Amino acid sequence: MLRLPVVNRSFFPAAIIKGARTASTAAAAATTNLLEVFVDGKSVMVEPGTTVLQACEKAGMQIPRFCYHERLSVAGNCRMCLVEIEKVPKVLFRLHG
């Protein structure tokens, strides 16, 4: 199961960020307004408003889902996209909304 670290939950669920950044990622984030997200320990820079599902795809992780398509409204009915996120008490399934 996928585990995403969460330190600052103010942007959750649109994007999960980690408070500490290296100098290079902090500089990149400052100039382009990106957030640093960790997917299974891999750092990924995403724009504010990016969903957990989109961040996982950008990190190269395939999360199975039936009810999601970029051009359709959010359904969240199939519950195939279950993930665990650190410091979140329950499993999440609406990663795209």
The pLDDT tens digits for 4-25 are: 554 444 444 443 444 445 555 5
Q: Where are the domains of the chain?
A: 31-96
Query: Can you tell me whether residue 32 is helix, strand or coil?
Result: helix
Tell me the C-alpha to C-alpha distance, in Å, between residue 32 and each of 17, 19, 35, 47.
Answer: 15, 17, 9, 8
Mean pLDDT, all residues of the chain:
70
Give the pLDDT confidence of 32-50 residue by residue, as tens digits.
789 998 888 899 999 998 8
- Residue 56 CB contacts under 8 Å (≥ 6 apart), including other chains: 2, 39, 63, 83, 95
